[in-house]
Structure 1
Amino acid sequence: MNTTTNANIRIRRANERGHANHGWLETYHSFSFAHYHDPKWMGFRSLRVINDDIVMPGQGFGRHPHDNMEIVTYILSGQLEHKDSMGNGHIIKTGEVQYMAAGTGVFHSEFNPSDDEAAHLLQIWIQPDERNVTPRYAEKSYADAPNGQWNLVTSKQGRDGSIAIHQDADLWLARLGATDQLAFDVKPERHVWLHLAEGSLTLNGQRLESGDAAYVSEATTLELEATSDSQVLLFDLS
């Protein structure tokens, strides 16, 4: 793969994110959240939150409300027990995705049921394109998804077996082994946010490490080459 630096690609480094350590929870905020506020980083298009959370064993988020937000949780390692006012209750594990349309309002809790293993997860909020929808829940495992390719996690219409959400926001997941190469074409009038959840890679010649992100709002081709085992989330947004 021939990679060249593309001036249209901008980088958001992991150490630029907001950070808090509450003892039971260590968290990094890509965008303004809770006590972290930066007017330059209020979100990207419909993408409002990417929180990189480590929840200690036996700890979690108590019952609390949400409304009018599309909430996606991806478990990088460990497990998380979910309960909500819709009657859903399940332990989601490594490689699994949980989706909740908060809509008119829902209460939920998230708890790490392990006695000895921290849970590492990404909590993602996407602003819906329609308010006050009926709350909805879904989950899907990507633990056995093929490596070295883009796997579609969410989409507006739920195409190709992905989870349907209330927004024109395609979320893609890719796991790459060291030296794996992968490309993504950013189409005209689309906007991409790429989050490197784990590992290291080069993106059009620029080095990214775990927690780094890149974003682009012009038609271009993104060329990735992993330099270690990596996990990438890519948001293709209207």
Structure 2
Amino acid sequence: MNDSPSARTSSRIYTAPRTDVSQNQGTFRIHFNFPGRAVPEHDDHGYGPLATVVESFMDPGTLIRMHQHRNEEIISWVPDGVMRHDDRQGNELVTDPDHLMVMNAGNGFWHAEETLADDPPLRMLQIFVRPHSLDLEPGIQHEPIPEPVAGEWRHLFGPEGTDAPLSVRNDVDFYDCRLTAEATTTLPSRPGWHTYLYVFDGAVEVGGKAVGYTESALVTGGDDVAVTATEDATIVAFNIKPDAPITRQGTIGR
């Protein structure tokens, strides 16, 4: 884990290796990425309203039985394959590369997840956002998302009232981007907000610093920071208001 000022901006860039925090339940395996751990002496495993970014694997024919979440916003991002959802509100939903799902758990939301025997192996991200208040009204959002365009950021969720297709109840924006080798883009930024980047596939340089497969970077400051693919890459980024009011009583994303 290391940090350095960007050569081009006043932003500060911290990088972190692949997480060593994982759980193996056989056909269901998860790796927890804690954005706050990238920053030395940071006293929170999360970073403001972003609690954790979980890399999840489900083999074909896996059922995660009905269970409850409370006081967290759970986003399922599936770049390939399918994740099948049902819940006690009667929803039966399929999240895939064309759809994004947000569970606003609030005061309690029960759901199950499944892959069928003829589904492909699933690797996805499940993102846990801390809401601004406890025991909000529960609900679910499941919406189509725009087709990806190589080299461009897609804005997929944001705080309530933004132009993102789906919303969460705190100050976090979420983007994804696909870069071909040697292509460059600019990391999404907002004045006064910080940005957390995770490399889902491939490898990149962030402000000149190498960030490889399943590694991450946290950028403090709102200056433009270049992201260059050193091989074909799929990356996600979160703009975070670091001092947003948060709760820390989520079932998983505390």
Q: TM class by shorter-chain length?
A: 0.7 to 0.9
Q: Distance in 1 between matches of 2:134 and 2:162?
A: 22
Tell whether 2:96 aligns with 1:55.
Answer: no
SS at match of 2:187: strand
1:119 matched residue in structure 2: 122
Amino acid in the other structure paired with 1:231: T
1:25 alignment partner in structure 2:
28
Task: Give distance in 2, aligned partners of 1:41 and 1:62.
Answer: 30
Pair 1:205-2:197 in alignment: no
Structure 1 residue 81, shift from structure 2 partner: 0.6
Matched ranges for 1:10-159 at <5 A: 10-14=14-18, 16-31=19-34, 42-115=45-118, 117-142=120-145, 144-159=147-162
Q: Deviations over 1:84-103 (max 9, x none)?
A: 12221112223532111001
User: Using a 3 Å threshold, how does the CA distance of structure 1 residues 223 and 154 change in structure 2: closer, same or farther?
Assistant: same
Matched with 2:171 is: 168
State the secondary structure of the residue aligned to 1:131: coil
Q: 1: distance between equivalents of 2:103 and 2:64? A: 15
Residues 49-103 of structure 1, C-alpha deviations (whole Å, 9 max, x = no match): 2110111110132110011111101113211110112221112223532111001
- Distance in 2, matches of 1:195 and 1:142, equals 20
Counterpart code for 2:74? I
Displacement of 1:179:
2.0
Match of 1:8 among 9, 12, 28: 12
- The alpha carbon displacement at 1:164 in A equals 1.9
* Shift in alpha-carbon separation, 1:40–1:30, aligned structure 2, 3 A: farther
Q: CA deviation at 1:3?
A: 7.1
Distance 1:103 1:185 in 2: 28
Q: Distance in 2 between matches of 1:118 and 1:199?
A: 19
83-92 or 180-189: bigger deviation:
180-189
Structure 1 CA distance for aligned equivalents of residues 59 and 44 of structure 2: 27
TM-score, normalized by length of structure 1? Answer: 0.87
User: Which whole-Å CA distance do the structure 1 matches of 2:143 and 2:180 have between them?
Assistant: 23
Taking a change above 3 Å as real, the CA distance of residues 122 and 29 of structure 1, as seen in their structure-2 partners, is same
Q: Report how many residues are paired.
A: 230
1:164 partner SS: strand
Deviations 1:86-142 (A, max 9, x none): 221112223532111001111001111243621111011100112222212112344
- The alpha-carbon distance between structure 1 residues 224 and 22, as it changes in their structure 2 partners (threshold 3 A), is same
**Match of 2:15, as an amino acid?**
I
- Match of 1:181? 184
Q: C-alpha distance in 2, partners of 1:31/1:225?
A: 23
* Runs (5+) with no aligned partner, structure 1: 33-38
Q: When the two structures are superposed, what TM-score results if normalisation uses the length of structure 2?
A: 0.82
Identity within the alignment, %: 23
Answer yes or no: is the 8 Å Cα contact 1:170–1:237 preserved in 2. Answer: yes
Give a deviation string over 1:166-208, Cα, whole Å, max 9, x none. Answer: 1111111111122221103534421211111111111111111
The structural deviation recorded for 1:214 is: 0.4
- Contact 2:62/2:115 (<8 A) preserved: yes
1:237 aligns with 2:240: yes
| Counterparts of 1:214 and 1:194, CA distance in 2 | 5
Secondary structure of the residue aligned to 2:163 is helix
Kept in 1: contact 2:9–2:223 (CA 8 A) = no
What's the secondary structure of 1:229's corresponding residue? strand
Query: Which residue of 2 is the match for residue 35 of structure 1?
Result: none
